[in-house]
Amino acid sequence: MYLIQGPHWPLTLKMHRALLIREVVQLIIQHIRVVLDHGFNLGERQTLYSAALTCSSFLEVALDALWYNMDSLAPLFKLTNFEEKVCHFF
């Protein structure tokens, strides 16, 4: 909850309760993901990444959309230390 002070306020900003409904968030994210389904657009990925960082209710849905469509496994392997260890091992 955020509190903003002003001449005619205080106004309390709370996340709308609708956004606590997973299906609603999925619909919002779906609008961004439609573009991704037709290609790998860096800008849209950045939007999804930002959405994932917005709040906890967006996190899982946005991450699912962000990773939904891939054309390389390199980002997955970068999440681990595989590269360093595997190269050393082999």
d(CA 12, CA 34): 34
On the CB side of 81, CA atoms within 13 Å amount to 4
Residue 87 beta carbon to other proteins: minimum distance, rounded to whole angstroms:
8
Interface residue with other proteins, options 21, 30, 37, 50 (CB under 8 A): 37
Q: Which stretch binds other proteins (CB under 8 A): 8-16, 21-29, 43-51, 73-81?
A: 73-81
Q: Which two tokens stand for residue 83?
A: 């590269």
Intra-chain end-to-end CA distance of the chain, in Å: 51
Closer Cβ to other proteins, 55 or 86, answer by number: 86
Contact positions vs other proteins (CB under 8 A):
37, 63-64, 66-74, 76-77, 79-83, 85-87, 89-90
